[in-house]
Chain A
């Protein structure tokens, strides 16, 4: 039996409404995607929801006490609390450039955590 489900794609701010048809829990059709990344999102969202994580880590000697960071790709949603806890223990020292690797291969996923901006020394 075909089951219908409506999702909001969160991959980009367009926030397309995806009308998904499921057969036995598998995606058989998607409608409404503004681009092809919406198809991948629908597949993942049904089986293994993933999100990009953005947070901050401590930075020493910088013009601000915190450095904003982001993952290079979406990570499994269920493991986000674990990743946040791990990043709480990470600290760096200024200066830092946007794109510098702050933590490599987190959760053994091949995904890195990068600096989201430059921070100069104080």
Chain B
């Protein structure tokens, strides 16, 4: 079994596959060490769900790196996977061996996600130095020990941007503003409290960057209010002097490799369409972690990675029976997407299954999350509030197995009572 990417998703898959009896499990990682993006996320809040402990990102990663070594997972570091064929031939490259070719009985994708930068390209003005994604700045400050500027404006209220606002302030920089084009916060509420409010950093909703000023280096950005169609409102411009603009405008699953294998992607998640076992549309290919959809918490990445690893181990051992019938899951009222996209009703005979979703709009009052099968309600739960930055999970009980055998489609909606 080959795992592409040694972040928490890939490591969880590798460890789970070993524990399920897969004999040779190899993790291929392009960085010089395992752990993935968490090595630069030095803040705490990781591990409460998966480990029952509150750990900083690197400590959480370390736990799984150690587990991988203990369970006999093999690793190939500093090695970039270039191409994979549908027959699972893997072409990779590193500075020691040049191009190498491997053949795997099953492949697990664990390439994680990358930061969106597209929003930036649409910003008019000059192209001076001093524009970074929040994640690049995080790497510079937390790993390389280099401050990318002194006076910042952050575009986007994603978690990485807010976390960097706090970090930069603690390191002595000034964060002038966090600007968010949407009328609501895109990251976690707790980060707004502990990263912005604690440090009196203003968050301005429904505002964006109209223009970047400066010749060599950023000298100022011009912000502007937007209307409900996201169009700038003339007369609301404000010039904010600063030397650095950070972009925290969202993450997108990294699926160049999967696309080239011919794996079906969901345009809503930008990740592979998966079933309840994290199997993709091409037999023998599984997906673990943020490559599937952007999870709000790394703990869920680990749990989903374990599912992928077990499925891949079963595939290699010939224990996978092809699904006779599968239900399609789909997004209803105020739901952006649902994962997994396919569900084999027989899987419920083995235990409860989960559907995970994100809402389109925040609702700060009680809502009902309703699952219907071909229009008939089969499950529901109440949430005290829902926010686009926080995933919602609904359980499907094993008892539903029988009634779902003849159904075609599951729909999830989030309704005000």
Contacts and interface: CB of A to CB of B under 8 A. Distances in A.
A116 B194 contact: no
B61 interface: yes
Contacts of A68: 42, 56-58, 142
18 contacts: A8-B193, A9-B190, A13-B297, A15-B190, A17-B385, A54-B43, A54-B56, A56-B42, A63-B33, A65-B145, A66-B142, A68-B42, A70-B56, A70-B59, A80-B170, A81-B170, A116-B42, A117-B61
Interface string A1-26: 00000011110110101000000000
Interface residues of A, number: 31
B142 to A, nearest CB: 6
A13 B48 contact: yes
A77 B198 contact: yes
Contacts of B39: 117
B59 A117 contact: yes
A118 interface: yes
Given A13-B190, A51-B198, A68-B42, 20 more contacts: A7-B193, A8-B192, A9-B190, A10-B194, A13-B188, A15-B390, A17-B189, A32-B384, A52-B54, A54-B42, A55-B170, A58-B145, A64-B143, A66-B142, A68-B56, A68-B57, A70-B44, A116-B55, A116-B58, A117-B59
Contact of B48 (A12, A55, A77, A116): A12
Nearest to B38: A117
A117 B381 CA distance: 39
Nearest to A81: B170
A8 B190 contact: yes
A71 B55 CA distance: 10
A8 B62 CA distance: 29
Nearest to B167: A55
Nearest to A51: B194
Range for the number of chain B residues in contact with chain A: 20 to 34
Interface of B: 32-33, 39, 42-45, 48, 54-59, 61-62, 142-145, 170, 188-190, 192-194, 198, 296-297, 364, 384-385, 390
Interface string A77-105: 10011001000000000000011000000
A65 B144 contact: yes
Nearest to A9: B190
A17 B62 CA distance: 31
A99 to B, nearest CB: 8
A121 B60 CA distance: 21
Contacts of B144: 64-66
Given A10-B194, A84-B170, A15 B59 contact: no
A45 B62 CA distance: 32
Contacts of B384: 17, 32
Contacts of A56: 42, 142, 145
B414 to A, nearest CB: 17
Contacts of A32: 384
Nearest to B65: A118
A68 B360 CA distance: 35
A70 B48 CA distance: 16
B44 A66 contact: no
Nearest to B197: A8
Contacts of B193: 7-8, 10
Contacts of A7: 193
Contacts of B296: 13
A13 B57 CA distance: 13
Given A13-B296, A13-B297, A66-B143, A55 B42 contact: yes
